[in-house]
Structure 1
């Protein structure tokens, strides 16, 4: 399983999770990938809001307990709102692209994933704006 994040046109660290993902593994990927990304993208004490979906490992009490002391504030987000949850579309497009490109190693895979993540954002935003916030087929 892959974990990724981005801010506008910048991508953060990409994480690989082995086996079944639970809250403990999710916290581990936050420590390995999210916290370094926050340090890299945001000046000290600069506020940001973190968006994620409502997968069970994302809503565990231990994760919320982890977020507070690390100054990670979550965007209130409906559980089923994929149009503007860009990562969902990115993962779907990436699966197709990876099948076509057939990366030979993890480094190539990460490179393909990050590029697709960045490239897909403007088109999706334009589609949502054009639909005036209504559902889009992407």
Structure 2
């Protein structure tokens, strides 16, 4: 994860997550957010904020990266970053943006979504 500063969860939720969610889901009144159930995502302050804003948090195990599509995105990103000899913070930022926009695009994300039923069936088969 790349952060150029430290922020409080409330600032991040109010200025980044909530506006993004409202923009993406402006045609529906119900929004569900999936996270990896880490303690920072389950803090009382975060839960209270989400409840106040009408956002439902989908509870799932953090030990199921195969069912969390963003893990595929981070894996692809790390594979692409390893290929580059980056010598500055700006080169890193530029490369991340390039990979995100050129490779982690709508087509890639749709492919991940299309394979989700197969992953769920495989997970159920293994874990019962």
TM-score (norm 2): 0.70
1:97 corresponds in structure 2 to 80
Matched, 1:124 2:112: yes
Distance 1:93 1:73 in 2: 28
Matched, 1:86 2:69: yes
Identify the structure with the greater helix proportion.
2
1:134 corresponds in structure 2 to 122
Unaligned runs of 5+ in 2: 124-128
Report the aligned-residue RMSD: 2.8
1:106 corresponds in structure 2 to 93
Who wins on radius of gyration, i.e. which is larger?
Answer: 2
Is this contact kept in 1: 2:32–2:55, CA < 8 A? Answer: yes
Shift of 1:100: 2.3
Q: 1:109 to 1:127 in 2, by over 3 A?
A: same
Distance 2:21 2:117 in 1: 28
Shift of 1:127: 4.2
TM alignment of 1:1-138, pairs within 5 A: 1-2=1-2, 16=3, 18=5, 25-43=8-26, 46-101=29-84, 102=86, 104=91, 106-118=93-105, 119-130=107-118, 133-135=121-123
Unaligned runs of 5+ in 1: 3-15
Is this contact kept in 1: 2:67–2:119, CA < 8 A? Answer: no
**Number of aligned residue pairs:** 118
